[in-house]
């Protein structure tokens, strides 16, 4: 469906049963579940789908080995169940990934192995592979880039990997196909009240500048780290004092270096660095992803910046476990994600590493429902919980859950394995043939030598026609992941992509955000 058609539907003044504010993993999963149940649903996103935290993860679908060590058994069990669900519903965007934990001291392999075997046992029949003790030689075979010095064997276990931003787009398109109205680049500017209760929203389309008024029996605040801002609008509209903040956000930094630093097809996990943190080195789309950090932050910008100490930590710890220590000049791109961690009641300060990653749902006196916290892996279970809470509060009719558990997302086929697709087109699944029929299918603007992934002229056209991309950034950051992989290459392709988008969308390069994207790409290149 084209944007003008979606805008026309929103202009009609249809009374929705549910309006979701926020187009990240949580909001998109909620919109899909509600639409699948037959509820009249709209979702509005101020930027692009997954612009914030939901495109800046470590790209892992996991139950949370760390959460198991913290005793959060229920969260781990739920996440392992949902990991299997995503693998089944989006096999073109998610796949199993082996992890190796090298042991540097004799006691580490049995110590880590015990916990990892418990992790596999919790997965039960959804386990992706056995947990195995490895010899030092086997560790270096699976991790050719790992430093061999002082190795005392290791442990291999299995989790999964995914493309977070493209999964978000798949959720949006699947919800659209189920009847939901979703619009990106459309900011909610006010909440409407009637009799002291939330009864709708006012929004502004950032492209046209027009104001939209939408009515709904239920409004859900799913804006991630920005939920407190919308809660403040709710209180302001009802002449109430602003509620105390729910969140104590933290940020996680990721660095991307050449694939050769890790090599092989397995990820490396250091469960506990010298200062007690976790380090990942993960193969991703032909590169190596290093991370991450957990630093409390008060400021919540759309584009958070890494701290010099965070970058130094990742490079230092990676240098201790990799055969070749990465240097600042080796970093091709870096980005920062903000985590919406729910603050324990009665606590105002302290670190964020021990805060639970479980989600929280709160229903305000006005009827505004806020959901935040959680993680990508459990987006679907979170949606079911939110709808159950909305029904319990009398805001939505009670409807059966489970409609999304076996619902293939756009590009997947029901009950089947990943669709066979030509090199570089695996992430499009069953839609690869549609893409190849577009002009420029054989004209590659960029193609990675090691992974086969890339960006063709046809992919830009497909993003504009079918994936709701509206700007250069939408294409190069989230429909294609080039900004996150190689910021210099993304900057070089900005003008050619803008020219194609201008042709497809009948807009000028200025309207497509060409110059702001070039500035953004330079930020991703330059370390603090």
Residues 448 and 512 grouped into a single domain = yes
User: What phi and psi values does residue 332 have, to the nearest 5 degrees?
Assistant: -90, -25
Q: Is 82 part of any domain? A: no
Residues 155 and 272 grouped into a single domain = yes
Query: Over the stretch 240-264, which tens digit does the pLDDT of each residue have?
Result: 778 999 999 999 999 999 999 999 9
Beta strands of 72-196 (E only): which ranges?
A: 94-102, 132-134, 154-162, 181-183, 186-194
Sequence length of the chain is 528
Q: Is 411 part of any domain? A: no
Residues 198 and 182 grouped into a single domain = yes
Alpha carbon distance 473, 482 (integer Å): 10
Overall domain count for the chain: 3
**Distance of alpha carbon 3 from the chain centroid:** 23
Q: Is 283 part of any domain? A: yes
Residues 31 and 110 grouped into a single domain = no
Query: Over the stretch 304-313, which tens digit does the pLDDT of each residue have?
Result: 999 999 999 9
Q: Is 119 part of any domain? A: yes
User: Domain of 13?
Assistant: 3-53+166-246+350-392
Q: Provide the pLDDT confidence category of residue 292 given band limits of 50, 70 and 90.
A: very high
CATH number for position 360: 3.50.50.60
Residues 155 and 276 grouped into a single domain = yes
Q: What is the pLDDT of residue 42?
A: 98
Per-residue b/e over 370-390, b at no fewer than 16 CB within 10 Å? bbbbbbbbbbbbbbbbbbebb
Alpha carbon distance 404, 85 (integer Å): 9
Angle at 337 between CA 332 and CA 338, to 5 degrees: 160
Q: pTM, whole model, 2 decimals? A: 0.96
- Mean pLDDT computed over 380-389: 97
Q: What is the pLDDT of residue 346?
A: 52
Is-contact 178 30, C-beta < 8 A?
A: no
CATH number for position 476: 1.10.8
Residues 135 and 256 grouped into a single domain = yes
Query: Over the stretch 80-124, which tens digit does the pLDDT of each residue have?
Result: 999 999 999 999 999 999 999 999 999 999 999 999 999 999 999
Among 448, 360, 15, 386, which Cα is nearest to 199's? 15
Residues 135 and 174 grouped into a single domain = no
């Amino acid at each position: 469906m084209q944007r003008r058609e979606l805008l026309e539907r929103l202009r009609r003044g249809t009374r929705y049963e549910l309006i979701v504010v926020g187009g990240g993993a949580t909001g998109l999963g909620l919109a899909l579940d509600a639409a699948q149940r037959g509820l009249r649903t709209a979702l509005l996103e101020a930027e692009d789908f997954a612009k914030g935290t939901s495109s800046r993860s470590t790209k892992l679908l996991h139950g949370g080995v760390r959460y198991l060590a913290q005793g959060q058994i229920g969260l781990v069990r739920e996440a392992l169940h949902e990991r299997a669900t995503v693998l089944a519903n989006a096999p073109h965007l998610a796949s199993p990934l082996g992890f190796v934990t090298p042991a540097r001291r004799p006691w580490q392999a049995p110590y880590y192995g015990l916990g990892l075997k418990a992790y596999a046992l919790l997965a039960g029949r959804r386990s992706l592979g056995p947990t195995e003790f490895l010899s030092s030689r086997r560790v270096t075979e699976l991790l050719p880039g790992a430093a061999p010095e002082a190795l005392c064997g290791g442990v291999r276990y299995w989790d999964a990997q995914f493309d977070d931003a493209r999964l978000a787009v798949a959720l949006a398109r699947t919800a659209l196909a189920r009847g939901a109205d979703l619009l990106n680049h459309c900011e909610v500017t006010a909440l409407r009240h009637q009799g002291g209760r939330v009864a709708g929203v006012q929004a502004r389309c950032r492209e046209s500048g027009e104001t939209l008024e939408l009515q709904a029996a239920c409004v859900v605040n799913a804006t991630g780290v920005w939920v407190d801002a919308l809660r403040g609008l709710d209180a302001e509209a009802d002449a109430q004092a602003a509620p105390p903040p729910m969140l104590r956000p933290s940020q996680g930094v990721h660095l991307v270096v050449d694939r050769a630093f890790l090599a092989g097809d397995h990820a490396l996990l250091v469960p506990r660095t010298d200062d007690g943190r976790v380090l990942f080195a993960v193969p991703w789309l032909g590169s190596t992803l290093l991370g991450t950090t957990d630093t409390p932050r008060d400021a919540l910008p759309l584009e958070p910046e890494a701290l010099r100490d965070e970058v130094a930590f990742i490079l230092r710890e990676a240098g201790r476990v990799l055969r070749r220590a990465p240097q600042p000049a080796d970093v091709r791109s870096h980005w920062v994600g903000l985590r919406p961690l729910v603050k324990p009641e009665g606590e105002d300060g302290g670190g964020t590493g021990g805060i639970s990653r479980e989600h929280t749902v709160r229903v305000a006196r006005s009827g505004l429902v806020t959901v935040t916290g959680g993680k990508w892996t459990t987006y679907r279970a979170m949606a079911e919980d939110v709808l159950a809470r909305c029904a319990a509060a009398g805001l939505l009719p009670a409807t059966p859950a489970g409609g999304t558990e076996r619902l293939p997302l756009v590009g997947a086929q029901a009950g089947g394995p990943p669709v066979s697709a030509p090199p570089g087109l695996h992430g499009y699944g069953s839609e690869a043939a549609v893409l190849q029929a577009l002009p420029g299918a054989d004209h590659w603007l960029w193609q990675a030598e090691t992974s086969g992934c890339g960006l063709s002229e046809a992919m830009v056209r497909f993003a504009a026609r079918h994936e709701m991309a509206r700007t250069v950034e939408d294409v190069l950051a989230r429909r294609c992941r080039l900004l996150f992989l190689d910021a210099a290459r993304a900057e070089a392709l900005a003008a050619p992509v803008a020219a194609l988008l201008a042709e497809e969308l009948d807009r000028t390069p200025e309207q497509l955000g060409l110059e702001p994207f070039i500035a953004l790409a330079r930020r991703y290149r330059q370390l603090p």
